[in-house]
Amino acid sequence: MAGKHVLIVDDDMEFVKLYSLFLRNKGLEVSAAYSAAEARTALETLTPDVVVLDVMMEHFDSGFNASKAIKEKYPQLPVILMTAIGEETGLDFRPRSDEERELMHADAFLDKAASPEELLTKINELVA
């Protein structure tokens, strides 16, 4: 797993800082973007092995739109969507099937309450 590159995209700077530190301590290279637009720009020069993408950033659906754009341009690049939508709205946005996950243009979906260890496990599954 060491040497793998993760791009974390989230407008919550504390979240990015905490999870980046954890992943770096586990031997991963980590880059950060703080908006969907920054993520698209970063992907023009970076070649991450996986993208961790917040759903709600500039707009309610920024992450979904960014994930769709990423998958259209880089179909083999794994995308993990993370969100606090459930905590904030009481709605459950987790996909129930592979088809629903595909409609979200994501390879995995985690609640933001997921621990750094859970995120690392999901990254390992996707880039093994």
**pLDDT in the model for residue 14:** 93
Query: Quick count: other Cβ atoms within 10 Å of Cβ 68?
Result: 16
53-66: pLDDT as tens digits: 988 776 666 777 88
Residues 73-112 pLDDT 10s: 999 999 999 887 555 555 555 556 666 555 557 888 888 8
pTM above 0.75, yes or no: yes
Count structural domains, the chain: 1
What percent of the chain clears pLDDT 70, i.e. is strictly above it? 78
Distance between CA atoms of residues 128 and 126, nearest Å: 6
Per the structure, the complete domain to which residue 46 belongs is given by 5-127
CATH number, residue 67: 3.40.50.2300
- C-alpha 15/C-alpha 125 separation (Å) is 22
